[in-house]
Amino acid sequence: MRHLIWASAFLMVSACGNGGGTSIAASTPLVVAEGQPVISYGEVTSGTPKLSPATLPVPLEEVRTSAACRTPKARSGAKTAYVYTYGGGVSSPLHHIDRKDTPEAIAEREALIRERKASAKTAVQREALGMAIGNAVQNSRQIDVLVTETDAPIFLYLTSYDSVLWNIQRAPGVEIDGIVVNSYNAGAIANGVDAARTGFISFDNSPTRKCYIGGQGRAIPVEERIASAKRLNPDFDPRRYKAQWEQEYRDATRFFRQDVKKLSGKRPQWILNDARGSAFNAVLVGPAPAAPFEAQAVSRVQIPSHITPYWGGRKDAYKAFGLSPSS
Protein backbone atom coordinates (compact mmCIF):
# COMPACT_ATOMS: atom_id res chain seq x y z
CA MET A 1 0.00 0.00 0.00
CA ARG A 2 2.77 2.44 0.95
CA HIS A 3 4.50 1.61 -2.33
CA LEU A 4 1.33 2.48 -4.24
CA ILE A 5 0.92 5.87 -2.58
CA TRP A 6 4.50 7.10 -2.72
CA ALA A 7 5.77 5.51 -5.94
CA SER A 8 3.06 7.42 -7.78
CA ALA A 9 4.57 10.70 -6.62
CA PHE A 10 7.38 10.29 -9.12
CA LEU A 11 5.02 9.94 -12.08
CA MET A 12 3.77 12.81 -14.22
CA VAL A 13 0.58 14.41 -12.94
CA SER A 14 -2.26 12.77 -14.84
CA ALA A 15 -4.84 14.84 -16.69
CA CYS A 16 -7.45 15.33 -14.00
CA GLY A 17 -10.57 16.24 -15.94
CA ASN A 18 -13.99 15.84 -14.43
CA GLY A 19 -15.07 12.71 -16.23
CA GLY A 20 -17.58 14.76 -18.19
CA GLY A 21 -17.41 12.76 -21.40
CA THR A 22 -16.27 15.43 -23.86
CA SER A 23 -17.49 14.77 -27.40
CA ILE A 24 -15.15 14.49 -30.39
CA ALA A 25 -15.54 17.40 -32.81
CA ALA A 26 -16.54 16.48 -36.38
CA SER A 27 -13.54 18.44 -37.70
CA THR A 28 -11.03 16.36 -35.70
CA PRO A 29 -8.46 14.75 -38.06
CA LEU A 30 -8.30 10.97 -37.75
CA VAL A 31 -5.07 9.05 -37.37
CA VAL A 32 -4.76 6.99 -40.56
CA ALA A 33 -2.28 4.49 -41.99
CA GLU A 34 0.69 5.82 -43.92
CA GLY A 35 -0.32 6.68 -47.48
CA GLN A 36 -3.99 7.27 -46.67
CA PRO A 37 -5.37 10.79 -47.26
CA VAL A 38 -6.24 12.97 -44.29
CA ILE A 39 -9.89 12.61 -43.28
CA SER A 40 -11.95 14.13 -40.48
CA TYR A 41 -14.04 12.38 -37.84
CA GLY A 42 -17.32 13.72 -39.22
CA GLU A 43 -16.58 12.36 -42.69
CA VAL A 44 -16.50 8.80 -41.29
CA THR A 45 -19.14 8.68 -38.54
CA SER A 46 -21.97 10.75 -37.13
CA GLY A 47 -20.28 10.72 -33.72
CA THR A 48 -20.77 8.59 -30.62
CA PRO A 49 -23.14 9.57 -27.82
CA LYS A 50 -21.55 11.41 -24.93
CA LEU A 51 -20.77 9.17 -21.94
CA SER A 52 -22.39 10.58 -18.82
CA PRO A 53 -20.69 10.28 -15.41
CA ALA A 54 -24.17 10.09 -13.87
CA THR A 55 -25.21 6.92 -15.71
CA LEU A 56 -23.28 3.72 -16.38
CA PRO A 57 -24.57 2.66 -19.82
CA VAL A 58 -24.18 -1.09 -19.17
CA PRO A 59 -22.87 -3.26 -16.31
CA LEU A 60 -19.08 -3.57 -16.36
CA GLU A 61 -17.90 -6.95 -17.67
CA GLU A 62 -14.69 -8.38 -16.20
CA VAL A 63 -12.25 -10.19 -18.47
CA ARG A 64 -9.85 -12.45 -16.58
CA THR A 65 -6.19 -11.43 -16.41
CA SER A 66 -3.53 -13.92 -15.35
CA ALA A 67 0.22 -14.21 -15.15
CA ALA A 68 0.29 -16.20 -18.40
CA CYS A 69 1.07 -14.11 -21.47
CA ARG A 70 -1.44 -15.91 -23.71
CA THR A 71 -3.84 -13.61 -25.55
CA PRO A 72 -6.05 -14.14 -28.61
CA LYS A 73 -4.34 -14.13 -32.02
CA ALA A 74 -5.73 -13.20 -35.41
CA ARG A 75 -7.54 -16.06 -37.10
CA SER A 76 -6.85 -17.27 -40.60
CA GLY A 77 -8.35 -14.85 -43.10
CA ALA A 78 -8.41 -11.90 -40.69
CA LYS A 79 -6.55 -8.62 -41.14
CA THR A 80 -4.68 -6.91 -38.31
CA ALA A 81 -4.44 -3.30 -37.15
CA TYR A 82 -1.79 -2.12 -34.68
CA VAL A 83 -2.57 1.13 -32.84
CA TYR A 84 -0.18 3.01 -30.56
CA THR A 85 -0.55 6.25 -28.62
CA TYR A 86 0.66 7.64 -25.32
CA GLY A 87 -2.93 8.28 -24.29
CA GLY A 88 -6.38 9.46 -25.31
CA GLY A 89 -7.47 13.04 -25.66
CA VAL A 90 -11.13 12.76 -24.65
CA SER A 91 -12.29 12.55 -21.05
CA SER A 92 -14.38 9.55 -19.98
CA PRO A 93 -16.16 8.78 -16.69
CA LEU A 94 -14.24 5.52 -16.10
CA HIS A 95 -11.75 5.61 -13.21
CA HIS A 96 -9.93 2.79 -11.47
CA ILE A 97 -7.16 1.67 -9.15
CA ASP A 98 -4.77 -0.74 -10.81
CA ARG A 99 -5.47 -3.72 -8.59
CA LYS A 100 -8.36 -5.43 -6.82
CA ASP A 101 -9.50 -3.37 -3.83
CA THR A 102 -11.20 -4.43 -0.61
CA PRO A 103 -12.87 -2.41 2.17
CA GLU A 104 -9.81 -3.19 4.31
CA ALA A 105 -7.47 -1.81 1.65
CA ILE A 106 -9.52 1.39 1.41
CA ALA A 107 -9.45 1.82 5.19
CA GLU A 108 -5.68 1.25 5.22
CA ARG A 109 -5.23 3.85 2.48
CA GLU A 110 -7.29 6.42 4.38
CA ALA A 111 -5.23 5.83 7.52
CA LEU A 112 -1.98 6.07 5.58
CA ILE A 113 -2.98 9.40 4.04
CA ARG A 114 -3.88 10.82 7.44
CA GLU A 115 -0.47 9.71 8.71
CA ARG A 116 1.39 11.16 5.72
CA LYS A 117 -0.62 14.38 5.84
CA ALA A 118 0.32 14.88 9.47
CA SER A 119 4.02 14.36 8.69
CA ALA A 120 4.09 16.53 5.53
CA LYS A 121 5.63 19.70 6.96
CA THR A 122 7.11 21.35 3.88
CA ALA A 123 5.50 22.55 0.64
CA VAL A 124 7.50 19.95 -1.31
CA GLN A 125 6.24 17.13 0.91
CA ARG A 126 2.65 18.33 0.61
CA GLU A 127 2.99 18.59 -3.19
CA ALA A 128 4.42 15.06 -3.36
CA LEU A 129 1.49 13.75 -1.33
CA GLY A 130 -0.98 15.50 -3.61
CA MET A 131 0.67 14.01 -6.69
CA ALA A 132 0.63 10.54 -5.14
CA ILE A 133 -3.07 10.78 -4.34
CA GLY A 134 -3.94 12.08 -7.81
CA ASN A 135 -1.95 9.45 -9.67
CA ALA A 136 -3.22 6.54 -7.59
CA VAL A 137 -6.59 6.88 -9.34
CA GLN A 138 -6.35 6.26 -13.08
CA ASN A 139 -8.73 8.13 -15.40
CA SER A 140 -9.32 6.29 -18.67
CA ARG A 141 -9.31 8.65 -21.63
CA GLN A 142 -11.50 7.71 -24.60
CA ILE A 143 -10.27 6.91 -28.11
CA ASP A 144 -12.72 5.97 -30.88
CA VAL A 145 -11.56 3.16 -33.18
CA LEU A 146 -13.58 3.57 -36.40
CA VAL A 147 -13.51 0.32 -38.37
CA THR A 148 -14.70 0.47 -41.99
CA GLU A 149 -12.86 -2.49 -43.54
CA THR A 150 -15.39 -5.12 -44.64
CA ASP A 151 -13.29 -7.35 -46.93
CA ALA A 152 -12.12 -9.48 -43.97
CA PRO A 153 -12.60 -9.74 -40.18
CA ILE A 154 -10.41 -7.23 -38.31
CA PHE A 155 -8.13 -8.08 -35.38
CA LEU A 156 -7.24 -5.03 -33.24
CA TYR A 157 -4.03 -4.76 -31.22
CA LEU A 158 -4.39 -1.56 -29.19
CA THR A 159 -1.39 -0.17 -27.32
CA SER A 160 -0.93 2.86 -25.07
CA TYR A 161 0.97 4.07 -22.03
CA ASP A 162 -1.92 5.80 -20.26
CA SER A 163 -5.22 4.14 -19.43
CA VAL A 164 -7.55 4.30 -22.45
CA LEU A 165 -11.22 3.38 -22.93
CA TRP A 166 -11.09 2.09 -26.51
CA ASN A 167 -14.51 2.75 -28.06
CA ILE A 168 -14.96 0.37 -31.01
CA GLN A 169 -17.25 1.71 -33.74
CA ARG A 170 -18.16 -0.53 -36.68
CA ALA A 171 -19.44 0.52 -40.08
CA PRO A 172 -22.20 -1.74 -41.50
CA GLY A 173 -20.79 -5.13 -42.51
CA VAL A 174 -17.68 -4.94 -40.28
CA GLU A 175 -16.68 -8.05 -38.30
CA ILE A 176 -14.23 -7.81 -35.39
CA ASP A 177 -12.09 -10.95 -35.09
CA GLY A 178 -10.60 -10.12 -31.68
CA ILE A 179 -9.16 -7.33 -29.53
CA VAL A 180 -6.04 -7.12 -27.35
CA VAL A 181 -5.28 -4.09 -25.17
CA ASN A 182 -1.64 -3.72 -24.12
CA SER A 183 -0.95 -0.71 -21.88
CA TYR A 184 1.23 0.41 -18.99
CA ASN A 185 -1.84 1.54 -17.00
CA ALA A 186 -4.78 -0.82 -17.39
CA GLY A 187 -7.18 -0.06 -20.26
CA ALA A 188 -10.79 -0.94 -21.06
CA ILE A 189 -12.94 -1.62 -24.14
CA ALA A 190 -16.34 -0.28 -25.12
CA ASN A 191 -18.38 -2.22 -27.71
CA GLY A 192 -15.93 -5.11 -27.78
CA VAL A 193 -16.30 -8.80 -28.56
CA ASP A 194 -16.74 -11.99 -26.54
CA ALA A 195 -14.30 -12.42 -23.64
CA ALA A 196 -12.78 -15.49 -25.33
CA ARG A 197 -11.54 -13.18 -28.12
CA THR A 198 -10.46 -10.37 -25.78
CA GLY A 199 -7.15 -9.91 -24.01
CA PHE A 200 -5.81 -7.38 -21.49
CA ILE A 201 -2.15 -6.83 -20.64
CA SER A 202 -0.90 -4.07 -18.37
CA PHE A 203 2.15 -3.41 -16.25
CA ASP A 204 1.16 -1.34 -13.23
CA ASN A 205 0.23 -3.61 -10.29
CA SER A 206 -0.93 -6.29 -12.70
CA PRO A 207 -0.55 -10.08 -12.82
CA THR A 208 0.37 -9.57 -16.50
CA ARG A 209 3.18 -7.07 -15.86
CA LYS A 210 5.86 -9.38 -17.29
CA CYS A 211 3.81 -9.61 -20.51
CA TYR A 212 3.77 -5.85 -21.12
CA ILE A 213 5.58 -4.62 -24.22
CA GLY A 214 5.94 -0.88 -24.76
CA GLY A 215 4.50 0.71 -27.89
CA GLN A 216 6.46 1.60 -30.98
CA GLY A 217 6.00 4.49 -33.40
CA ARG A 218 6.50 4.00 -37.10
CA ALA A 219 9.91 3.19 -38.57
CA ILE A 220 11.34 6.50 -39.86
CA PRO A 221 13.96 6.23 -42.62
CA VAL A 222 17.23 8.02 -41.88
CA GLU A 223 16.87 10.18 -45.00
CA GLU A 224 13.53 11.47 -43.72
CA ARG A 225 15.03 12.38 -40.36
CA ILE A 226 17.94 14.19 -41.99
CA ALA A 227 15.60 16.13 -44.26
CA SER A 228 13.45 17.16 -41.28
CA ALA A 229 16.49 18.28 -39.31
CA LYS A 230 17.79 20.35 -42.24
CA ARG A 231 14.47 22.10 -42.62
CA LEU A 232 14.98 23.36 -39.08
CA ASN A 233 18.71 23.98 -39.47
CA PRO A 234 20.18 24.09 -43.00
CA ASP A 235 23.67 23.64 -41.52
CA PHE A 236 22.75 20.45 -39.66
CA ASP A 237 25.53 17.81 -39.77
CA PRO A 238 23.97 14.29 -39.65
CA ARG A 239 27.23 12.38 -39.07
CA ARG A 240 26.84 12.45 -35.30
CA TYR A 241 23.34 10.90 -35.42
CA LYS A 242 23.35 8.71 -38.52
CA ALA A 243 24.47 5.45 -36.87
CA GLN A 244 21.95 5.86 -34.03
CA TRP A 245 19.10 6.64 -36.46
CA GLU A 246 19.99 3.68 -38.66
CA GLN A 247 19.84 1.36 -35.65
CA GLU A 248 16.49 2.85 -34.50
CA TYR A 249 15.08 2.32 -38.00
CA ARG A 250 16.22 -1.33 -37.96
CA ASP A 251 14.74 -1.85 -34.48
CA ALA A 252 11.39 -0.34 -35.45
CA THR A 253 11.25 -2.31 -38.70
CA ARG A 254 12.00 -5.54 -36.85
CA PHE A 255 9.33 -4.71 -34.26
CA PHE A 256 6.58 -4.54 -36.88
CA ARG A 257 7.84 -7.42 -39.01
CA GLN A 258 8.53 -9.82 -36.15
CA ASP A 259 7.35 -8.69 -32.70
CA VAL A 260 3.87 -7.49 -33.65
CA LYS A 261 3.42 -10.58 -35.81
CA LYS A 262 4.14 -12.73 -32.74
CA LEU A 263 1.83 -10.66 -30.53
CA SER A 264 -1.14 -10.50 -32.87
CA GLY A 265 -0.57 -13.56 -35.07
CA LYS A 266 -0.10 -11.59 -38.29
CA ARG A 267 1.87 -8.68 -39.68
CA PRO A 268 -0.40 -5.63 -39.42
CA GLN A 269 -2.08 -4.22 -42.52
CA TRP A 270 -2.62 -0.95 -40.61
CA ILE A 271 -0.01 0.71 -38.40
CA LEU A 272 -1.72 3.64 -36.71
CA ASN A 273 0.15 6.01 -34.44
CA ASP A 274 0.52 9.71 -33.94
CA ALA A 275 3.79 10.85 -35.50
CA ARG A 276 4.12 13.46 -32.72
CA GLY A 277 3.98 10.74 -30.08
CA SER A 278 1.21 12.47 -28.14
CA ALA A 279 -2.46 11.77 -27.42
CA PHE A 280 -5.12 11.49 -30.12
CA ASN A 281 -8.88 11.13 -30.27
CA ALA A 282 -9.78 8.65 -33.02
CA VAL A 283 -8.26 6.30 -35.59
CA LEU A 284 -9.52 4.88 -38.89
CA VAL A 285 -9.10 1.18 -39.71
CA GLY A 286 -10.08 0.75 -43.34
CA PRO A 287 -11.00 2.98 -46.27
CA ALA A 288 -12.94 6.23 -46.16
CA PRO A 289 -16.66 5.40 -46.46
CA ALA A 290 -18.85 6.83 -49.23
CA ALA A 291 -20.99 8.42 -46.50
CA PRO A 292 -20.63 8.66 -42.71
CA PHE A 293 -22.02 5.66 -40.84
CA GLU A 294 -24.24 6.01 -37.81
CA ALA A 295 -22.32 5.51 -34.60
CA GLN A 296 -23.41 2.94 -32.02
CA ALA A 297 -24.21 3.71 -28.41
CA VAL A 298 -22.09 1.87 -25.84
CA SER A 299 -23.63 -1.58 -25.35
CA ARG A 300 -20.69 -3.31 -23.64
CA VAL A 301 -17.83 -2.16 -21.39
CA GLN A 302 -15.08 -4.67 -20.59
CA ILE A 303 -12.40 -4.21 -17.94
CA PRO A 304 -9.47 -6.40 -16.80
CA SER A 305 -10.28 -8.43 -13.71
CA HIS A 306 -7.36 -7.11 -11.62
CA ILE A 307 -8.64 -3.51 -11.33
CA THR A 308 -11.26 -1.90 -9.10
CA PRO A 309 -13.31 0.44 -11.33
CA TYR A 310 -15.46 3.48 -10.62
CA TRP A 311 -17.88 5.16 -13.04
CA GLY A 312 -18.53 8.83 -12.34
CA GLY A 313 -16.78 12.12 -11.63
CA ARG A 314 -13.15 12.52 -10.59
CA LYS A 315 -13.84 13.90 -7.11
CA ASP A 316 -16.31 11.10 -6.36
CA ALA A 317 -13.74 8.56 -7.59
CA TYR A 318 -11.21 9.90 -5.05
CA LYS A 319 -13.72 9.41 -2.27
CA ALA A 320 -14.73 5.94 -3.45
CA PHE A 321 -11.11 4.79 -3.19
CA GLY A 322 -10.42 6.46 0.17
CA LEU A 323 -8.42 9.25 -1.47
CA SER A 324 -10.32 12.39 -0.54
CA PRO A 325 -9.20 15.43 -2.60
CA SER A 326 -9.17 17.42 0.64
CA SER A 327 -6.03 15.49 1.58
Q: How far apart are CA 322 and CA 310, in angstroms?
A: 12
Asked whether the beta carbons of 14 and 139 are under 8 A apart, the reply is: yes
Q: Are strands 164-170 and 282-285 parallel, antiparallel or unpaired?
A: unpaired
User: CB-hemisphere CA count at 13 Å for 33?
Assistant: 15
Q: How far apart are CA 233 and CA 241, in angstroms?
A: 14
- Residue 43: phi, psi to the nearest 5? -80, -15
Asked whether the beta carbons of 273 and 217 are under 8 A apart, the reply is: yes
Between 23 and 154, name the one with better pLDDT.
154
3-state secondary structure of 116: helix
pLDDT at res. 176: 98
Lowest mean pLDDT among 69-78, 119-128, 296-305: 119-128
Q: pLDDT-based confidence at 4, cuts 50/70/90?
A: very low
Q: How far apart are CA 115 and CA 128, in angstroms?
A: 14
pLDDT at res. 321: 84
Q: pLDDT-based confidence at 325, cuts 50/70/90?
A: low
pLDDT in tens, 58-76: 999 999 988 888 899 999 9
Q: Which of 289, 32, 42 is nearest to 173 (CA)?
A: 289
For 221-255, give the DSSP string.
PHHHHHHHHHHH-TT--GGGTHHHHHHHHHHHHHI
Q: Counting every residue, how long is the chain? A: 327
Lowest mean pLDDT among 47-51, 61-65, 129-133, 173-177: 129-133
The partner residues of 147 in beta bridges, in order of sequence, read: 170, 285
Q: At what angle do helices 103-119 and 123-136 cross, to 10 degrees?
A: 160
pLDDT at res. 191: 97
Asked whether the beta carbons of 318 and 106 are under 8 A apart, the reply is: no
Q: Which of 308, 22, 324 is nearest to 143 (CA)?
A: 22
The model's pTM is 0.85
For 26-136, where are the alpha helices, taking DSSP H only? 103-119, 123-136
Q: Are strands 60-63 and 164-170 parallel, antiparallel or unpaired?
A: unpaired
Asked whether the beta carbons of 113 and 323 are under 8 A apart, the reply is: yes
Q: Is the pLDDT of residue 275 over 60?
A: no
Angle CA(269)–CA(214)–CA(157) in degrees, nearest 5? 35
pLDDT in tens, 168-181: 999 999 999 999 99
Q: Which of 175, 159, 163, 165 is nearest to 277 (CA)?
A: 159
